[in-house]
Amino acid sequence: MKSAVITFPGSNRERDMMYALELTSGVAPVSVWHADTTLPDVDLVVLPGGFSYGDYLRSGAIAARAPIMDAVRDFAEKGRLVLGVCNGFQMLTEAGLLPGALMRNAGLTFVCREVLLETASTANRFTQGMTKGAVWRCPVAHHDGNYFADADTIKALEDQDRVAFRYARGTNPNGSINDIAGITNEAGNVLGMMPHPENLVDPLQGGTDGRAFFESALSVVAA
């Protein structure tokens, strides 16, 4: 299982993501710079969290037009796995690889805390090894995580079982419609999520709840 993590100016979770990927797959990911125009031969590409370009204009907006993004789009169209976490999720919506938008949190404040996530769907290539309906701990850290899409898009996401994760038991930190924390594209090979599973994979981080997600996503690739 081979993966790559793309670093943008202002990314800050790329090392956390690389640590989690290496810990769970045993293979060190390749680091890719945003100004590169080609991706290495890998199975999974990750857009990590952070504040690319200082969140100027809109979160993820400038990064979504970075030189590497054409290669990411081709990679996704070939059916390979693309994961965007936090700022990476914002980039995927800005790039049009996922529907909707991440708006300012309803409470207006930056939220940095732990939430409970429900694995709401296992009908995609990332969560198919997880337990549907299971609730697990996961950290969030964002200012623009309020998922919005028009009613038709929300209906399509729900009908097609594309809501991978929901905030559970009243822990929605940002006002997202239907408690949406993560969604996939139609083919199920592109996933965007606001919470940070990479920040709960080692007992030193306070728990290992995030491991099941990586083990599921990576086992699909290895198979």
Partner 1 sequence: MKARVTVTLKSGVLDPQGKAIEGGLAALGFAGVDSVRQGKVFDVELNTADATKAKAELADMCEKLLANTVIENYAIEIV
- CB 118 to partner 1: min, Å: 23
| Interaction of residue 67 with partner 1, rule CB under 8 A | no
Could you say which of 14, 86, 138, 142 is catalytic?
86
| Interaction of residue 101 with partner 1, rule CB under 8 A | yes
- Tell me whether residue 198 is one of the annotated catalytic residues: yes
CA-CA-CA-CA dihedral for 166, 172, 72, 56, to nearest 10: 170
**What does the alpha-carbon distance between residue 6 and residue 78 come to, in Å, rounded to a whole number?**
18
Map residues 9-48 to x or -, x wherever contact with partner 1 holds by CB under 8 A. ----------------------------------------
**What does the alpha-carbon distance between residue 136 and residue 199 come to, in Å, rounded to a whole number?**
13
**Pair of tokens at residue 188:** 């199920």
Nearest residue to 13 (alpha-carbon basis) of 45, 46, 50, 44: 50
Cβ-based nearer residue to partner 1, 103 or 221? 103
| Interaction of residue 84 with partner 1, rule CB under 8 A | no
Check if the beta carbon of residue 40 is closer than 8 Å to that of residue 32: yes
| Interaction of residue 57 with partner 1, rule CB under 8 A | yes
Check if the beta carbon of residue 181 is closer than 8 Å to that of residue 146: no
Cβ-based nearer residue to partner 1, 39 or 61? 61
Q: How many CB atoms lie within 10 A of CB 74?
A: 12
Per CB under 8 A, contacts with partner 1 among 141-200 are 146, 148-150, 175
Binding region for partner 1 (CB under 8 A):
57-58, 61, 65, 93-94, 99-101, 103-108, 146, 148-150, 175
